[in-house]
Structure 1
Amino acid sequence: MANPIKFDNVGAIGVVRDIAAAELPQGAWSDARNIRFLDGAALQFLGHGQVYLTPPEPPQFLLQANVAGSRYWLYATAGKQFAASNASGASVHTNISHATARVGKVNAWSGCVFGGIPVLNAGDGKPPMYWDTDLTHKFVDLPAWPAATSCKVLRQYKNMLIALGITRGGARLDYMVKWSSLAVAGSLPTTWDEADFTQDAGEFDLAEGQDPIVDGLGLKDSFIVYKEASTYAIDYIGGQFILKPRKVSGMSGLLNMNCAVEFEAGFGAMHFAVTGSDIVQHDGFSARSVLDKKARRFFFQDIDVAHQDKVFVFKNPFLNEILVAYPSIGATWCDTALVYNYVDGTVSFRSLPNVTHAAYGPVDNSLAGNWNQDDAPWDTDLTAWNGPDFTPDTARVMMGSADTKLFLLDASTSFDGALPDAYLERRGLSFGAPERIKIVSGVRPRITGNRGGTVIVRLGAANGPDDEPKWAKPITFTIGTSLKLDRFISGRYLAIRFETGTAFSWKLDGFSLLIDDAGEF
């Protein structure tokens, strides 16, 4: 009689790509796509739907801002800036472009909302700019910005602005950190003059080593500056020196701009950062790899080298996720994301719609709950008709696409109206006895979702740990109807695969394999 071998808590470990499948613990998956690991289960990612209709130009950078009590999304294109809004079901794109065109490119923009005032920098050799949130006004140059000066990156630290990688009078100062005076709440800084000792403005060089500054980001009471191969923390000390640097790491920096994000872990605020050879999290003092022995080598080998400058990071805090968007081999734009759940420590991979940038922030209530924005068929849609979506409207991710679209993440069960290609696979199962032949007679999946939707289950077997499994004929599991699926297959190393059939959304809580031991032969 066949003995059931149970697989519970199937989302606890996630995908492990850097270790041979035959050496993985029983609960790990050797491959997956468009599957989210959350609260111990494995479920198909919620999708993305287009919002705000079609932008005039492809977005390159996104920033959420509030205007007169309403929620707007600002976006910059290769030469213009727009404010997108949704009122009474109508989407409007207001042109708020600077009179002097900013010639930006993907992953070269930086900015923030400083005391309620949106500030942007294109990194194109022109001054940073700001918008006063009046829809009849345009972006204008940042006041008090020094003449004949530009910067690579502009960020916020406490109530001052910090500029990184300065060009002054045509001379590049790739190691320079320059900061403004302290600003009054709701106002912009009044000076950047480092020679005015009545103010807190200043500058210095992080000149140790020959690696230029890449980016910077606040972390708790410090500001972290990332160079190409080193990392520094800058602390506010006031007095004569105002800011003081200290080295965090002399071994790793940052791959690109926008490749670091702050998140809240069990031990407080941390940075998640993509370096040139690893992905780490650190608290400003010590760092640890989050991908080692999971998917570090696979991730870096899967990036298209010709377009690695487009890699960037964004967070989805409601679902405890950080996404590393990257162009996979053969892609020009970010078509894939490595998804890291920073609470469970799991890794998965998700398809992206040629994303150029993404940002987290609140969206307008009418946008979040508007069923016209949801492309999933009604009979497979998990959201209530004309009701709220799965993710609260105060914690949404907006994505810009090179396909001239704005997408709301987790807004639909479909991927822009299409059924996602989602699968979950484990190979190399030997149950501690690789020398013995196992005969599988069936599988009992615990799958939930929309009743009547289907999930395809495949069973396979191989005689060697590195052999390609011989897959049996696929079996259809119908949600709400199927219980046990019968299929015979035998081998020393077993494999199982779950993939989307017709279900727009499904969740695997566990399964059992019915196995007989056929001995050693």
Structure 2
Amino acid sequence: MPTEPLTISNLTEIGLVVDTPAVSLPPNVFSDVQNVRFRDGAVQKFPGETDRFTSTGIDYVAFWPAPSGNKYVVIRGTTLQILNASYSNVSYTNPESISISDSSNWQHTLFNGGFHIIINNGAQAPMYIQDDSTPVIKKLPGWESYAPSTAIKTFEYEGETGAYKTISTALASGNKIKVEMIPKSAATPRRSETVTVNGSVNGVTPDGTLVDIGTISNVSATGFRFIPNDGLGGSQFIISLVAQNLVTAVTAGVIRAYGNLLVAGNLAETGGNGRKLTGVVRTSDVAPPGNMPLGWNPFEIGASTADEFTLSSTGTIQDMAELQGVLYIYTDTSIHALQRTGNSFIPFQFSTITDSYGANNTGSVLQVDGKHIVYGSGDVYVFAGHPGSIASIADGRVRSIFRQGHDYKAVRFNLFDEIWFYRNNATQYVWNYRKDVWTKRVGSAPLALDSVDNNLILATATKLKTVNENYLSESYVERRRISITPEFDTESLSSIAFIVEGSGTLEVDAVGSNAPGDNKDPTASASGQMNTTSFNIANDYKQDIRVHGRFLNYRVTHTSTSNTFNLTGMQFGVSKGGQR
């Protein structure tokens, strides 16, 4: 019986589609895939995973491209660990004796070109690590910005070397002394530091040396001595006691860098009335060059950009990302813009972009090629700064996956022009932003993923892995209900030929059906199914196969873990059958 070829080419044009009924899709669309990429004109196998570091109780990993060399910050329960590029332990100091809270909500942001990394878990005050010869971890300076304080000494330093001020005041262990330096020149950054009286002779914690400010010494129950640093003539100094018993601790759900300042959102008071300020944004003061911002209190003398704003009375701030000099703030139901004005009296301008779209969770917004890619509002969409630019990249293809409300985070894999959407699940959905195609990867379930040069670092509970070496064990493409006849005839599939390069074996599972609603699984035992497992990529060109029906369900699987393949086309040999 004569056969007619059904040729399927351009396999990388559309990729994975799970939303649109398979019976209505073109032949070169796949209704299920696993561990394949659609790029370079071919269906390719995903690389696999390589173990880099083994431990226990891993909750989070952040890649830190520090000036002194790449590092990784690893959170394990209440333990913070720093690793170098070879995954060996790096010692660090903790002068403030910070205790790490056990949390599953970690996020991070880089500052000062990677000289600082800010880590935050929403359960305690944000912290930063500085890339010194021995890294040091500290709380963000001035974070408790509304701690009531009493100024006990204000003076202008005339610049005389060695001059000191004796401060007479009652002190007890636990009291906090705050020293602010307001420079004579507006071009010089204001500086502030707070130390804690520890009850020992001359004792303050971390120590009495206030960087670029001066020195506290002779601490006793009746006062202390303060000596300004040389070279600060004309500066004003304000020395205060901070009433810690009235402080209400504040946490932030998310904190991001915005130029030379920091912006925090989704605030919560962990003491006092326990208010949840989910729609409130807090901005820091401008950071001195190479330093962290020193204050967050807009009412403090010398403050410039520190402020707080209520953006949304109903939505919760989920994430923030910069685009063309504007910081866009995403609640779960809206998008807002924060922009510097250059006016010292009104440093920021806020505006609402839309009340119809938002972000689902922290970590769901990425900047790619001058636009944001956002998971939120039951969709994955592109946003380029104007509400009219919002457009879905998932609708009609994989949107049903993102309508389920899971907390997917996004990470960019530059080497392959991909954005991975992941949660603590073995399946990651991957979008190629050059080809505009979706695919699916199945591997380890990540607790965290971060971009590392030409790789990704993946954290499970016990391991850190990279994902661009070796090969994953099973890759396949599958199509359900592809029409092999436009008429009322039944057909017979007699052979399959592959246009493919590479090594290994392709296994073909196929089953036919006569009804478009008969969605048979090609990998399950069924009438008319034919399993072929002997197609050798290096030696074979086609396989004989016998499948009958008007519609074809097939899966092509590559199981090798030591080599890859490049599939560019398929051809089915179809023989006409009888009518019924």
TM-score interval (norm. to shorter): 0.7 to 0.9
Q: Out of 432, 442, 466, which is 1:351 matched to?
A: 442
Q: RMSD of the alignment, in Å? A: 2.2
Amino acid at match of 2:58: P
Q: Out of 308, 324, 331, which is 2:421 matched to?
A: 324
- The within-5 A match list for 1:107-186 is 107-134=105-132, 136-145=134-143, 146=145, 147=147, 148-168=249-269, 170=272, 171-186=275-290
Q: Deviations over 1:271-297 (max 9, x none)?
A: 111114111111121311111000111
Is structure 2 residue 497 aligned with structure 1 residue 457? no
Q: Secondary structure at the match of 1:103?
A: coil
Aligned partners of 1:62 and 1:400 also within 8 Å: no
Identity rate of aligned residues, in percent? 22
Aligned partners of 2:91 and 2:134 also within 8 Å: no
State how far apart, in whole Å, the 2-side matches of 1:516 and 1:200 are: 79
Q: Secondary structure at the match of 1:411?
A: strand
State how far apart, in whole Å, the 1-side matches of 2:471 and 2:378 are: 34
Aligned match of 1:235: 339
Is structure 2 residue 144 aligned with structure 1 residue 93? no
Aligned match of 1:405: 463
Q: Deviations over 1:232-265 (max 9, x none)?
A: 121222212222122222112111111111111x
Is structure 2 residue 498 aligned with structure 1 residue 440? no
Aligned match of 1:501: 559
Aligned match of 1:17: 18
Amino acid at match of 1:47: G
Normalising by structure 2, what TM-score? 0.75
Q: 1:472 to 1:159 in 2, by over 3 A?
A: same
Aligned match of 2:178: none
Unpaired stretches in structure 2, ≥5 consecutive residues: 148-248, 521-527
When Rg is computed on C-alpha atoms for both structures, the one with the higher figure is: 2
Aligned match of 1:417: none
State how far apart, in whole Å, the 1-side matches of 2:413 and 2:308 are: 35
Q: 1:215 to 1:158 in 2, by over 3 A?
A: same
Aligned partners of 1:463 and 1:491 also within 8 Å: yes
For residue 401 of structure 1, report the CA deviation from its aligned partner: 1.1
State how far apart, in whole Å, the 1-side matches of 2:561 and 2:497 are: 18
Unpaired stretches in structure 1, ≥5 consecutive residues: 327-332, 363-394, 415-419
Q: Secondary structure at the match of 2:470?
A: coil
For residue 23 of structure 1, report the CA deviation from its aligned partner: 0.5
Q: 1:97 to 1:166 in 2, by over 3 A?
A: farther
Q: 1:435 to 1:62 in 2, by over 3 A?
A: farther
Aligned partners of 1:448 and 1:508 also within 8 Å: yes
State how far apart, in whole Å, the 2-side matches of 1:123 and 1:484 are: 56
Aligned partners of 2:448 and 2:458 also within 8 Å: yes
Aligned partners of 1:115 and 1:187 also within 8 Å: no
For residue 125 of structure 1, report the CA deviation from its aligned partner: 4.0
Q: 1:116 to 1:503 in 2, by over 3 A?
A: closer
State how far apart, in whole Å, the 2-side matches of 1:507 and 1:186 are: 49
State how far apart, in whole Å, the 2-side matches of 1:448 and 1:489 are: 26
State how far apart, in whole Å, the 1-side matches of 2:57 and 2:312 are: 41
Q: Deviations over 1:93-121 (max 9, x none)?
A: 23547522221423343332433333333
Aligned partners of 1:121 and 1:127 also within 8 Å: no
Aligned partners of 1:437 and 1:492 also within 8 Å: yes
Aligned match of 1:366: none
Q: Out of 249, 254, 260, which is 2:359 matched to?
A: 254
Aligned partners of 1:81 and 1:95 also within 8 Å: no
Is structure 2 residue 157 aligned with structure 1 residue 66? no
Q: Secondary structure at the match of 1:318?
A: helix
Amino acid at match of 2:409: F
Is structure 2 residue 36 aligned with structure 1 residue 47? no
Q: Out of 448, 458, 482, which is 2:540 matched to?
A: 482
State how far apart, in whole Å, the 2-side matches of 1:107 and 1:464 are: 48
Q: Secondary structure at the match of 2:54?
A: coil
Q: 1:434 to 1:190 in 2, by over 3 A?
A: farther
For residue 473 of structure 1, report the CA deviation from its aligned partner: 2.3
State how far apart, in whole Å, the 1-side matches of 2:59 and 2:401 are: 29
Aligned match of 1:377: none
Aligned partners of 2:481 and 2:519 also within 8 Å: no
For residue 84 of structure 1, report the CA deviation from its aligned partner: 1.4
Q: Out of 372, 376, 381, which is 1:271 matched to?
A: 372
Q: Deviations over 1:305-347 (max 9, x none)?
A: 7xx34x3111112211111113xxxxxx322111111111111
Q: Secondary structure at the match of 2:367?
A: strand
State how far apart, in whole Å, the 1-side matches of 2:113 and 2:294 are: 14
Aligned partners of 2:280 and 2:312 also within 8 Å: no
State how far apart, in whole Å, the 2-side matches of 1:243 and 1:233 are: 10
State how far apart, in whole Å, the 2-side matches of 1:203 and 1:467 are: 62
Normalising by structure 1, what TM-score? 0.83
Q: 1:29 to 1:41 in 2, by over 3 A?
A: same
Range that drifts further, 15-24 or 98-107? 98-107
Q: 1:66 to 1:176 in 2, by over 3 A?
A: same
Q: Secondary structure at the match of 2:378?
A: coil
For residue 18 of structure 1, report the CA deviation from its aligned partner: 0.7
State how far apart, in whole Å, the 1-side matches of 2:348 and 2:72 are: 33
Aligned partners of 1:176 and 1:203 also within 8 Å: no
Aligned partners of 2:498 and 2:569 also within 8 Å: yes
